[in-house]
Amino acid sequence: MLIDWDSILAYNTIKIVRIRDKRLGILHLCFIVIIVLYVVVYSAIYKKGYLSTEEPVGSIRTSLWSPNTFKANQVYCKNNTEPYPYKKLECVYYDDALVGYPIGDDVGFTASSRMKISEQKSNCSLTDPTCKFYTNSSVNVYLADIESFTVLIDHTMYAPLSQIQFNGDDLSGYILDQNGNEIQINETVNVIGIEGRPDVLELGKILEFGGIDLDGPSMINSSNSIRYDGCVLFVFIEYSNTFSYDLNKIKYVYSIKKVDDTGYDIPEAIILDNPNSRLYYKRHAIRLIFIQTGLIGSFNFQSLLLTLVSGLGLLTVSTLIVDQLAIRFLPQRKSYSSFKFQTTESFKMKKRIVNDDGEDKLYHNIETL
């Protein structure tokens, strides 16, 4: 039998109906223009669909400096006679070595604002399971002028996929103020975001940016002040190179958010001349928790392709809408749909030319008609 290569290797293609109707044509053209604008201008260019983005990792080093001269006799000190809405305590003028505890903490930073100093003793041997420390005397003190301490924030970011690494000193940065504006600070003490100068902020400024007033009511007990109970703040450092079209421009933005409904305290025990005699410091503190985050983008052809292709799905939808309009809603719908759909005769209703013997019989019957 002769093999009909033309029919075996036939090329199947789709037949297209051209509906000569400017309403449909204009509508479809509008859809296409809008979709192309959306995909190319908005998704690919404006939204930077050609980038693959990653979140950078980083590390933080902080250090605390005490002020050169303390503001003495503040309103919360016992010695001060002005009215203060909360309990006044004695003030101590501790320097950074005594205020910052614990040290060497690389996710956070803690500066004490109040301490309960207890002298504890046990007059028994600690090998005895019933032996307990008792508190001989205890005193509550404020660590005066904690707002004037300065914090140096030395931060480094690294984006593993795009191999971008920078220290904060090399980048320009900003801090979000209370109104959500990005500002740089270039003062004698406070510096944020100036290239070539490390970021330094007074603790008072940090609290101000976080919306915390140390002499306002505490978040866990409103009959105490925040200075008395302590507080926790998140310091987000957000790195980005996707804010402009130049991927080599990297900036960072600090934003400081207070954590509601919490105070902060941390205990510290200092052993004196023997283990049975110790000082117990219960420190209430301002705790900063640093979180480095952001988006670092690099060009990626795969991402671009994905952006474009996902937009093409919209073209199918637009065609569907115009088709439905043409065959269901326009006055000429009958004639349009008769062109669009080529209907065969219904074999069921007409003279039965086939029984259930299958296709061969059908073709045979047709040929012998």
Ligand X SMILES: *[C@@H]1O[C@H](CO)[C@@H](O)[C@H](O)[C@H]1NC(C)=O
CB of 200 to ligand X, least distance (A): 13
Determine which residue in the list 167, 221, 324, 335 makes contact with ligand X, applying CB under 6 A.
Answer: 221
Q: Taking a C-beta distance cutoff of 8 angstroms, is the pair 280, 272 a contact?
A: no
Establish if 135 lies at the interface with ligand X (CB under 6 A). Answer: no
User: Closest Cα partner for 237 from 186, 168, 305, 337?
Assistant: 168
Establish if 117 lies at the interface with ligand X (CB under 6 A). Answer: no
**Closer residue to ligand X (CB): 139 or 312:** 139
Residues 172-201 that bind ligand X (CB under 6 A): 186, 194
By rule CB under 6 A, what count of residues binds ligand X? Answer: 12
Establish if 69 lies at the interface with ligand X (CB under 6 A). Answer: no
User: How far from chain centre, in Å, is Cα 231?
Assistant: 22
Establish if 302 lies at the interface with ligand X (CB under 6 A). Answer: no
Q: Mention every residue, 6+ apart, whose C-beta is less than 8 A from residue 189.
A: 150, 200, 202
Establish if 138 lies at the interface with ligand X (CB under 6 A). Answer: no
Determine which residue in the list 121, 251, 333, 340 makes contact with ligand X, applying CB under 6 A.
Answer: 121
**Closer residue to ligand X (CB): 167 or 335:** 167
Establish if 137 lies at the interface with ligand X (CB under 6 A). Answer: yes
List the Cα angle 319/322/328 in 5-degree steps.
Answer: 130
Give the C-alpha separation, 171 to 176, whole Å: 16
Determine which residue in the list 42, 46, 134, 339 makes contact with ligand X, applying CB under 6 A.
Answer: 134
- Residues 73-102, mask of contacts with ligand X (x by CB under 6 A): x-----x-----------------------
Establish if 346 lies at the interface with ligand X (CB under 6 A). Answer: no
Establish if 223 lies at the interface with ligand X (CB under 6 A). Answer: yes
Using CB under 6 A, list all residues that contact ligand X: 73, 79, 121, 123, 134, 136-137, 186, 194, 221, 223-224
